Amino acid sequence: MPSFDLVSKVDLQTLDNAINTVEKEIKNRFDFKGNHVVVTLNKKDFTVSLEADSEMKLQQIIDVLISKSLKQGLAAEIYDLAKEPYQSGKIVKKEIKVRNGINQEDAKKIVKLIKDQKLKVQAAIMDDIIRISSKKIDDLQEVIQASKGWDIGLALQYINMK
């Protein structure tokens, strides 16, 4: 029976490369010369910590982070930008969580979207992976095409097509 896995994984090395290119560009930009700017990646917790002198500079760093990530092949949806920046003395800080994996709530939404397609497919949630199987490979391809149009705030990948 043909199947594939729907995942939302972030390659740690690619993310690290994107962060390094952001740091390099920020150090070379004229408008950031002599300013306090820190961009660090916590590989264990999948978080990016940003520090800058003002909220405007922090927003510029976020813009650079997203553009460099897109050039590295990472989707902009991997960054959870919902958390507000906070003031720490003269410095503005922001913690950005990197979404790695599909949580149970999002997985249930995805399964509901798949069932709404009225295709003859079965979707099973397995931790942070959704396995989709069907008797026809054409139905699986229709699910993939439909999922590209969903606005769920996750970067989805399709792996283990069998």
CA atoms within 13 A on the CB side of 141: 3
Token representation of residue 4: 């594939």
89 and 119, same domain (yes or no) = no
20 and 64, same domain (yes or no) = yes
Strand partners, 93: 51, 86
In the numeric block, the tokens 């002198």 are attached to: 53
Look at residue 3 and tell me whether its pLDDT is greater than 90. no
Q: Which amino acid, residue 19?
A: I
3-state SS assignment for residue 159: strand
19 and 93, same domain (yes or no) = yes
Look at residue 61 and tell me whether its pLDDT is greater than 90. yes
25 and 90, same domain (yes or no) = yes
152 and 106, same domain (yes or no) = yes
Q: How many structural domains are present in the chain?
A: 2
Give pLDDT, residue 22: 93
29 and 107, same domain (yes or no) = no
pLDDT tens by residue, 105-119: 888 888 888 888 888
Report if pTM > 0.85: no
Look at residue 19 and tell me whether its pLDDT is greater than 90. yes
- Write out the residue range of the structural domain in which residue 121 sits: 3-8+101-159
